Amino acid sequence: MSIKLGDTAPDFQAESSLGTINFYDYLGDSWAILFSHPADFTPVCTTELGFTSKLQSEFEKKNTKVIALSVDGVEDHKKWIEDINDTQNTQVQFPIIADKDRKISELYDFIHPNASATATVRSLLIIDPEKKVRLIITYPASTGRNFNEISRVLDSLQLVDAYKIATPVNWTDGDDVIIPPSVSTNDAEKLYPKGVKEIRPYLRYTPQPNK
């Protein structure tokens, strides 16, 4: 199965480091970051999970839950978490899914045979409260993910959903945003009381609405 943007993220039940999890029940009405790891006790993954653990409180403020996946078993996950906590100076509190039979990895297209027939690639999905896939990023196994970028995209997606805007290149929270071409200039002046800066008829900026 190939997951694409806009698809409904498949539900599943699995064992995890925090016990049995039903994915939809675990998410509730939250956003989600679901990310896969090639294996336990690997150096790049250890740094990623440690950094994600440190960001968990920030993600919670954004109504977002994180959940990791690896093709190893629960007992390995629990031992690995001890290593992560020790080496990364943190306390991992989010679940790591055990996917020894690779059913979830195959469901979410985390196995790329030309990269590895057995290990998951470094894929990450952002899933919205309607269970729609909003972001897919896939890295090679040797390259750690940039979670500052993932947090930035999450900010953008949530802002886009709340207001009729788009975000420009390298946008970060607090920067000016773009008015979509579908909004006329007359409507823009009503929708964006902070002002409209027109560079071209199709390229118009306004201050971030919620700042």
- For the chain, give every domain's residue range: 13-145, 163-206
User: 110-146: per-residue pLDDT in tens?
Assistant: 875 555 544 556 789 999 999 999 999 988 878 899 9
- Is the CATH number of domain 163-206 3.30.1020.10? yes
State the distance between the two ends of the chain, measured CA to CA, in whole angstroms: 41
Phi, psi for residue 157 in degrees, rounded to 5: -60, -45
Q: What is the pTM of this model?
A: 0.92
Residue tagged active-site, from 45, 96, 104, 121: 45
- How far apart CA 59 and CA 164 sit, in angstroms, is 23
Q: Is 200 a catalytic residue?
A: no
User: 135-184: per-residue pLDDT in tens?
Assistant: 999 888 788 999 999 999 999 999 999 999 999 999 999 999 999 999 99
Q: Which two tokens stand for residue 116?
A: 């590895």
**13-145 and 163-206 share one CATH topology?**
no
Quick one: fold of 13-145? Glutaredoxin (3.40.30)
